Amino acid sequence: MNNNDNKNRTLPKTHPRYQSLKYRHKIIEGMKKLVVAEAGLIAHGRGECFDYILGEKTNVPAKKAIRAAVAMLLLAKKPVISVNGNTAALVPNELVTLSNMINAPLEINLFYMKKGRIEAIKNILEKAGATDIRGINKEKMVEIEGLDSNRRLMESIADADVVMVPLEDGDRTEVLKKMGKKVIAVDLNPISRTAIWADITIVDNIVRALPEMIKITEELKKTEKDQLYEIMDGFNNQKNIQDVLDLIKDYIDAQKEDAFKTLQT
Ligand code: PTJ
């Protein structure tokens, strides 16, 4: 039995939760290759839990946030997409596509530094077609004050006007805001510190949010600047997060009945 047979047996496509399991396996494989930090498995599990109570779909508030985020990225002078281990393992191709479409470099920025991780993430991004990867050369990095974690080391992010931070921890988002930057977060936890501090919070799974962002970029890149400003300025992050919280409440209420319907069929 070769390796592929083995994978197919443990993950049958007919499994009712195939998609979810597929991404779990990507995270596990990523960890074995040093792309994902050990704590990245736990972060993924936390994300799954929120995804469950959001109905595992891109909801209306996420779609609104995605439109506003794309408008902001298209209007930015120096946008950068920050890449960590989980994002690189889950959506390397989509990161490269979006980066090319909006002309924003990908910058590897890690919380958990370990020998070989940057190289492993660089490899996965290059395999996906990335040619301009930042955050790999120590000489080009600056240390940002007010931040003690490894995330304080930044290259183009230090100079950027708009930074997209998928699956981030709160400390850096707060510091980026204090540095005067606009922050776009992708975070399934609508009340994480990152979600609250960001200018635009996309409460959605990165595996759905990025393809949707690519689709909306295709549409909005032909749009006049004043219309892009209208989309961006018309977005209210606090209201949008509150709408997400209402959705979660409604979803849980509905589950009181819906979760048991399968027993009746
Ligand atoms: O690769 P590194 O070293 O930079 O480390 C990356 C992790 C994610 C381990 C690190 O940033 C971390 O510990 O993050 P936190 O503080 O656990 O926050 C991650 C957030 O992302 C949590 O709020 C999760 O709910 C959320 N999350 C997890 N998986 C997804 C997600 N959000 C969107 N899509 C996901 N697939």
Helix (H, G, I), strand (E, B) or coil at 82: strand
Q: How confident is the model at residue 118 (pLDDT cuts 50, 70, 90)?
A: very high
Quick one: tokens of 34? 């040093």
CA of 24 to the centre of ligand 1 (A): 13
Tell me whether residue 254 is exposed, middle or buried, using C-beta atoms within 10 angstroms of its C-beta: 0 to 12, 13 to 18, 19 or more: exposed
CA of 47 to the centre of ligand 1 (A): 7
What percent of the chain has pLDDT above 70? 96
* Predicted confidence (pLDDT) at residue 10 exceeds the cutoff of 70: yes
- 205: closest CA among 27, 75, 76? 27
What percent of the chain has pLDDT above 90? 85
Distance CA 161, CA 176 (A): 10
Ligand 1 atom with the shortest distance to the CA of 109: 4
Ligand 1 atom with the shortest distance to the CA of 49: 25
pLDDT (average), residues 228-242: 98
- 92: closest CA among 206, 256, 243? 206
pLDDT for position 5: 46
The secondary structure of residue 144, as a DSSP letter, is P
Helix (H, G, I), strand (E, B) or coil at 80: strand
pLDDT digits (tens, 9 = 90+) for 19-37: 888 999 999 999 999 999 9
pLDDT for position 1: 44
Delineate the domains of the chain, giving CATH numbers in brackets: 60-246 (3.40.50.12640)
pLDDT digits (tens, 9 = 90+) for 184-227: 999 999 999 999 999 999 999 999 999 999 999 999 999 999 99
Quick one: tokens of 51? 């995804």
Q: What is the largest CA-CA distance in the chain?
A: 64
Confidence (pTM): 0.94
Distance CA 157, CA 171 (A): 15
Quick one: tokens of 75? 């209007």
pLDDT digits (tens, 9 = 90+) for 147-176: 989 999 999 999 999 999 999 888 899 999
CA of 233 to the centre of ligand 1 (A): 28
Beginning with the edge strand found earlier in the chain, give each strand of the sheet holding 162-166 in spatial order.
133-134, 106-108, 79-83, 162-166, 182-186, 200-202
Estimate to the nearest angstrom the gap between the alpha carbon of 212 and the chain centroid.
12
Find the residues whose C-beta lies inside 6 A of ligand 1.
37, 39-40, 43-44, 46-47, 50, 84-86, 110-112, 167-169, 186-189, 192, 205-207
